[in-house]
Amino acid sequence: MEIIIAMLSLNCILLLALLVLLVFLARKNNHPYSYSDDYDSFESGEAHSYLDEDVKNIKEQIS
């Protein structure tokens, strides 16, 4: 029984470490669609929609 409890606690620790790693990598990401960039530009009143530009470019390529 103690082995099962030890394995479960180790599993929880590993999952927590993976979650911390994923959060770190997500915050480090500098992709143009990242939430933090959009939020900062929205707060400063310079909101910019990257998706609208992508749709416009695709429509131009099709026509």
Termini Cα distance of the chain? 68
Distances (CA, A) of 39 to 12, 31, 33: 33, 13, 11
pLDDT at 37: 53
In the three-class reduction of DSSP (H, G, I as helix; E, B as strand; rest coil), residue 33 is classed as coil
Q: Which residue has the higher pLDDT, 4 or 40?
A: 4
Cα–Cα dist 35/49, whole Å: 12
- Structural domain boundaries in the chain: 1-30, 31-63
Confidence band, pLDDT 50/70/90 cuts, at residue 53: confident
Instruction: Give the C-alpha separation, 6 to 35, whole Å.
Output: 38
pTM comes to 0.42
Q: What percentage of the chain has pLDDT greater than the value 90?
A: 24
Q: 3 by DSSP, 3-state: which?
A: helix
